[in-house]
Amino acid sequence: MRIVFVQFDDFTHLYSLCKIRSEGRVLRGSVLKVSSFLNHQLDPALIMELGKEFARLFSEPVPDLVLTVESSGIALALAAGTAMNVPVVFAKKHRTSNVFGEAYSSVVHSYTHDRDFTIIVEKEFIGNGDKVLIVDDFLANGKAVEGLLDIISQAGAVAIGAGIAIEKGFQEGGARLRANGLRVESLAIIDRMDEHGIVFR
């Protein structure tokens, strides 16, 4: 697997890239499997360090809450919320029996599952004027982040940015979100990946 490193000053960046290199698997359809440390089995030490890095990157202004989508983003969002000492809210993909209040909703297309989900957040958990940081494990086509932005907008809240663990830079989501004015900080950006390896930006 061939890796190209740019300059990184922070150990967390280097360590996360090394984990992707050593444990990530490239599957068909531009899918990167990182289930051994990020979105199935979790590496707690790495997750907490990534949360601290999001807290450092988004230290000003400090958000009022961290928002993500169930389920893979929850661990990262919790780590960021812990580091920032703010609440964490996750959008649910289904209206379960314990969601009975008024809720914001948005339809999101999942690249991985190739289907639409209606994500929901109860209105009591996002307030008008709240500063919201979005955190998620992957950014590809950007649909999950756009769905969360829609919910934030419905609430009259303000998105201060998105912290992403792994961005697929060869897909259009990150570029589109940035072009629309959203601050996106991705801890690893992949420019190319195939059976020959992964090339990082």
Q: Is the whole model's pTM more than 0.95, yes or no?
A: no
Question: Looking at the predicted structure, is the pLDDT value of residue 10 above 70?
Answer: no
Which pLDDT score, from 0 to 100, does residue 28 have? 80
CB-side neighbour CA atoms (13 Å) of 175: 7
**Is 5 part of a structural domain of the chain?**
no
**Each residue's pLDDT tens digit, 27-46:** 887 788 878 788 888 899 99
**Each residue's pLDDT tens digit, 160-196:** 999 999 999 999 999 999 999 999 999 999 998 887 7
Percent residues over pLDDT 70 in the chain? 89
Question: Looking at the predicted structure, is the pLDDT value of residue 159 above 60?
Answer: yes
CA distance 2 to 45: 26
Closest CA to 50 of 86, 81, 71, 90: 81
Q: Write the CB contacts of 97 (distance below 8 Å, at least 6 apart in sequence).
A: none
Q: Write the CB contacts of 52 (distance below 8 Å, at least 6 apart in sequence).
A: 12, 79, 83
Handedness of CA 59, 151, 90, 123 (dihedral sign): positive
**Is 102 part of a structural domain of the chain?**
yes
Phi, psi of 154 (to 5 degrees): -60, -35
- Is 169 within 8 Å of 199 (Cβ atoms)? no
Which pLDDT score, from 0 to 100, does residue 15 have? 61
Q: How many domains does the chain have?
A: 1
**Which CATH number covers residue 136?**
3.40.50.2020
Which single residue is written with the structure tokens 């809210």? 89
Which pLDDT score, from 0 to 100, does residue 53 have? 95
**Is 184 part of a structural domain of the chain?**
yes
Question: Looking at the predicted structure, is the pLDDT value of residue 197 above 60?
Answer: yes
**Is 50 part of a structural domain of the chain?**
yes
Q: Show the domain range for 131.
A: 11-200
CA distance 163 to 29: 24
* Count of helices and strands (H, E) across the chain: 5, 10
Which pLDDT score, from 0 to 100, does residue 118 have? 93
Which pLDDT score, from 0 to 100, does residue 11 have? 58
**Each residue's pLDDT tens digit, 60-94:** 999 999 999 998 899 999 999 999 999 999 999 87
**Is 1 part of a structural domain of the chain?**
no
Which pLDDT score, from 0 to 100, does residue 25 have? 79
**Is 4 part of a structural domain of the chain?**
no
**Is 38 part of a structural domain of the chain?**
yes
